[in-house]
Structure 1
């Protein structure tokens, strides 16, 4: 948790061991998402994405971002 631009795992109750297993990718950055999939590929079991980021204002997804995340994930065999 924490502001998504920071990628800081500071939510109460999240063990460091869990935080080490999480890959944080900037919201609305499809190229960063593609790079993460290319790098970690088969090691990624699931993708959690907040459709509208709301923890530091209202950040809407860019047109096509969520659809592209879904398609790339599906092609990689990753749950969304």
Structure 2
């Protein structure tokens, strides 16, 4: 793991839908587009970058949750 990157403990997101939080994703993407536009950047690029990053972190959290469930036998 790169130096300085630290994963926070997974809390109570027991359902996949809670981890994915589609409404929150759309909120974050809309803000990223607004900020990109305000900065004179391409909002489509900002959206693509943020969606890729969010998706990667969601998948990481799901993998970590599965590993924890496997260890505790849940």
Q: Same fold (TM over 0.5)?
A: no
Greater RCO (CA < 8 Å, at least 6 residues apart):
2
TM-score by length of 2: 0.34
Compare the two structures and name the one with the higher helix fraction: 2
Give the number of the structure whose alpha-carbon radius of gyration is greater: 2
TM-score by length of 1: 0.32
